[in-house]
Structure 1
Amino acid sequence: MDTVHHVFRGTFVHSTGSCDMEILENHILGVGSTGKILFLEDARELAKLAIKWGFDERKMEELSKNEFFMPGMVDTHIHAPQYSFMGSAMDRPLLEWLEHTTFPTEEKYTDLQLAKDLYSKVVRRTLKNGTTTACYFATIHTDASLVLADLTYQYGQRAFIGKVCMDSNKTYPKYIESTDQSIEEAERFIEVLKHKNYARVQPIITPRFGLSCSEKLLSQLGTLADKYELRIQSHISESVAEIEEVLKTFPDYNSYTEVYSKNKLLTKKTVMAHGCYLTDEELSVFRTKGAAISHCPNSNISLCSGHLDVRNVIKQNVKLGLGTDVAGGYTVSMLDAVRKAIETSKILFIQHKKREKENRKKEANQNENDAENEIKSAAQDKVEKEHDYKVLSYHEAFKLATLGGSQALNIDHITGNFEVNKEFDALLINPEAEDSPFEVFCNIPKEDMVQKFLYLGDDRNIKAVYVAGRCVVPFQNQA
């Protein structure tokens, strides 16, 4: 039987399969030596738990009145090499941004010292901001991608590392591989990382996106993912211009989704970033395949790409998480992703209300003959459907940033909330931290405290970060 390593008493906030946000006050959580959660019980059971698990009640760690634990946040889409220009070059649309800023920057990662310096900073910064799991795009360079894997392991972050594959680049042809080289290097990356035997750092198959890959490369990457039973990440339907170019490049395919699906790249272990313009038919394919979407609202707004209708994705029962998409998004903070997801939902709500008003106006102008009554009825049905549109709540956004992200990456059996036998990936939140960006007033309800943190908090409020039971922030002397 596992032995108790940590025991905490206080408030725990998490999501479950049936509840977007559950707040458990005055509870006790035990973490075993393997990093797994052994128990989460009401504090009235303390004496029984101490006897059952053999721990000293006097060594239990007590949270202060306003502190609480929440699950670590899961960034389902982030480009590590782009961290160097995060917060700049935000004035171009997607394809121009790639040509003029992204590709020239990523090309430099043949320099392993540059890679080590930059990747060390991005891993530290994401951990400080509460990202316990990150799904990283690296570059086309195998050795530099392995540097990123080594650093995530050393700092204790749970991570999926993608050595980027691309054999086509019309806008910046210097940053490219041959098809055979891309496959060979992807397999070398997989094999080397596999032999490092990192428990929580794994390779992920990473075709950059439809425009950067030939059909042959996509097909062979699908075969490689199947051979090694690996997860897959890429981009899909981020902008209208991108979709148009993809359909020109692959004229024998009916949709962007079909390009991935027919090449075995849409599986229950796939997460695709953006999906702003996916049709209901395409979402149905995602649902059937078990594939997930990474919603990156900051990036979608910053690059003027579009808005993902999260409410419709949820309605279509497609797995969904949040991503920062650094540096299309200008911050590594998953709290920002939570806020921007809610704001995007409100923008779409306003658009729905506008259409509702227009539909009512059309309805009022209809005549009373039989044919026009049919039109009137259809218009009314649409009005009622539009009227039912609901803004994403902060409870739902919280779930997307934690349990939803773990579901999107197919690790919800390992982490994502505080269920017994899952690994303890957690953030200790102190709303009253020194120099906190918000004030705490007396006797504030716990739910309001959580909401204030989600809307107003930042890394100053994150007192400690745990991954699989190990305290990784504050930093020790890693790397």
Structure 2
Amino acid sequence: MSSNESAAGIAHVYRGTFVHATYHTAVEILEDRLLGVDTEGKIAFIGSGKEVDRLSQKWGFEAFAVTQLGQHEFFMPGMVDTHIHASQYSYAGTALDMPLLQWLNMYTFPVEACYKDLEFARNVYTHVVKRTLRNGTTTACYFATIHTDASLLLGQIANDFGQRALVGKVCMDTNNFIPHYKETPEESEGETNRWVINSYPLVRPVVTPRFAPSCSAALLGYLGEIAHNNDLHIQSHISETKEEVNLVKELFPDYDSYTDVYHRHNLLTDKTVLAHGCHLTDGELKLFRETGASIAHCPNSNISLCSGMLDVRRVLNHKVKLGLGTDVAGGYSPSMLDAVRRTLDTSKALTIQDTQYHTLTFEEVFRLATLGGSQALSLDENTGNFEVGKDFDALRVNTDAAGGPIDLINHGEGSFFMSLFPLSIPPSGDDRNIVEVYVAGKRVVPFVEGP
């Protein structure tokens, strides 16, 4: 058996069209392929559909047991939400009538304080995990709240439903508007340590200072130590609004920039993802590139709260890793397909302002929603596209789903027009087109039973 072949047996084989991104190609369409998934949920082989007999003999599966995709079906990688507040899902789509800092104090902090009630937490977290899975999010990077037990519950729920997740217990020791919704630095350190020693097969802990304005230097230092000592992921926010940037300058006058605040507390690593970044300087982007830190682009939230418009092309030109996020509830939609659409819209808006601007292509944004998100979360060794050895995180998509939003118009039978069908999904499709969702080889949507 070669080094590329799996030692595990073959559990499933699929035949049809596979659409994914590679490190060199934004969109690659593989027509009439066989893809084998082993009993550990990893991709064991990819070959031509015409070689089914040879491959069945080599890999030990029965040709009649192959799952054949329909004419208008294809597989694409599961989408990666690099920034979502699970605890804010209960008011998604409402309360978007004020700028960020006022919005946090009026709506977010009072609601998050409710998560000390575990039944309340269970209800909301169950809904958000199921909704995001139905919308094709196979990996989610979640903010929870300051409550450790509720954060542990979110991890359990995500794992039980089969969603790959990073879950962060929020840390904040400064909150002048809702005094009871904060911790002391010592409490935050202790509770974070309690959180990080717990894990589930599909869930990883992520160190989560809410953002610099809600954290003292002492707390940021504690969290940097915990992340370093345990080799953990880190998530937070950065430069979402100009008002926030100015506040950080006031609170941390001895630091060169907002990015420098995180960097000097050991919170800027190749496992760090910071949301927004609308107002980062070139110098800050250079620091991102040098440390390997990533940006989560959340266009729905950026527009909904009038925060700013991230120039994704500029970020990519600085060779900084970038993925997409829904940022519920600042973003009103939990769908990553919406994040794709809003990313394209923002890029086109920048083009309206400057006709020389190099607009993002759909293919580039498709990659950001899949492989780009995995890279941003430093998970791309395990997932993000269809490569042998990676976990089979995938969406089975039907462009002609009954009752779906797409009307297929017959242009002919040529391969060119058939290849256009997959590209219609993120701009035009929705969850009705996502008929099955797989994580690590296991079908998790449609749901069989909730936990």
Superposed pair shares fold, TM > 0.5: yes
1:19-98 residue pairs with structure 2 within 5 A? 19-98=25-104
Alignment of 1:111-122 (within 5 A): 111-122=117-128
Rounded to whole Å, the distance in 2 between the matches of 1:447 and 1:268 is 36
Please tell me whether residue 417 in structure 1 is matched to residue 417 in structure 2: no
Other structure's SS at 2:141 match: strand
Q: What secondary structure, in the 3-state scheme, does the structure 2 residue paired with 1:403 have?
A: helix
Helix, strand or coil for the counterpart of 1:219?
Answer: helix
1:449 is aligned to 421
What secondary structure is seen at the aligned counterpart in 2 of 1:465? strand
Aligned partner of residue 424 in structure 2, secondary structure: helix
- TM-fit CA distance, 1:395: 0.3
SS in 2 for 1:343: helix
Distance 2:449 2:177 in 1: 42
User: What does residue 459 of structure 1 align with?
Assistant: 431
1:234-284 Cα shifts (integer Å, max 9, x gaps)? 000000000000110000011000000000000000000000011111000
CA distance, structure 1, for counterparts of residue 273 and residue 202 of structure 2: 18
> Which whole-Å CA distance do the structure 2 matches of 1:179 and 1:91 have between them?
32
Q: How far apart are the structure 2 equivalents of 1:281 and 1:114?
A: 43
List, as ranges, runs of 4+ consecutive aligned residues in structure 1 with deviation greater than 4 Å: none
Q: Deviations over 1:336-360 (max 9, x none)?
A: 000100110111112122xxxxxxx
DSSP-derived class of the 1:159 partner: strand
Determine whether 1:470 maps to 2:442.
yes
> In 1, Cα distance between the equivalents of 2:60 and 2:50?
17
For 1:332, the equivalent position in structure 2 comes to: 334
Give the whole-Å Cα distance in 2 for the aligned partners of 1:311 and 1:70.
24
How far apart are residue 174 of structure 1 and its match? 2.1
AA in 1 matched with 2:445: V
Q: Deviations over 1:130-150 (max 9, x none)?
A: 000000000000000011001
Which of residues 138, 141, 146 in structure 2 aligns to 1:140?
146
2 CA distance for matches of 1:169 and 1:254?
A: 24
Residues 1:436 and 2:442 aligned together: no
Q: Secondary structure at the match of 1:438?
A: coil
Q: Which residue number corresponds to residue 394 of structure 2?
A: 426
Quote the offset at 1:216 in angstroms. 0.5
Q: Distance in 2 between matches of 1:275 and 1:258?
A: 13
Residue aligning to 1:343? 345
- For the residue of structure 1 that corresponds to 2:33, the secondary structure is strand
The equivalent of 2:220 in structure 1 is: 218
Per-residue CA shift, 1:324-344, capped at 9, x if unaligned? 000000000000000100110
The residue number in structure 1 matching 2:4 is none
TM-superposed CA distance for 1:447, in Å, is: 3.4
Question: Which blocks of at least 5 consecutive residues in structure 1 are unaligned?
Answer: 354-386
Deviates more, 1:423-432 or 1:36-45: 36-45
For the residues of structure 1 that align with 2:203 and 2:335, how far apart are their CA atoms? 21
SS of corresponding position for 1:183: helix
Root mean square deviation of aligned Cα: 0.8
Of residues 242, 246, 249, the one that matches 1:247 is 249
Partner of 2:259: 257
Pairwise CA distance, 1:44: 1.9
Q: Deviations over 1:18-39 (max 9, x none)?
A: 0000000111100000000011
Q: Which residue of 1 aligns with 2:233?
A: 231
User: Deviation at 1:46?
Assistant: 1.4
Q: Matched residue of 1:418: which SS?
A: coil
Q: Measure the CA separation in 2 of the matches of 1:458 and 1:446.
A: 19
Whole-angstrom CA distance in 2 between matches of 1:273 and 1:337 = 13
**Letter in structure 1 aligned against 2:190:** E
Deviation at 1:461, TM superposition (A): 0.5
TM-score normalised over the length of structure 2: 0.97
TM-score between the two structures when normalised by the length of structure 1: 0.91
Distance in 2 between the 1:132 and 1:252 partners?
41
CA distance in 2 between counterparts of 1:157 and 1:446 reads: 31
Larger Rg: 1
Letter in 1 for 2:436: A
Residue 278 of structure 2 corresponds to residue 276 of structure 1:
yes
Structure 1 CA distance, aligned partners of 2:202 and 2:122? 20
Q: CA deviation at 1:171?
A: 2.4
Give the aligned partner of residue 356 of structure 1. none
Distance 2:160 2:450 in 1: 6
2:362 counterpart residue number: 394
Q: Take 2:184 and 2:38, find their aligned partners in 1: how far apart are those partners? A: 48
Distance 2:441 2:154 in 1: 22
1:451 shift after superposition: 2.3
Post-superposition offset of 1:456? 1.1
In the other structure, the counterpart of 1:10 is 16
Cα distance in 1, alignment partners of residues 423 and 203 from structure 2: 32
Which structure's residues are more often helix, by fraction?
1
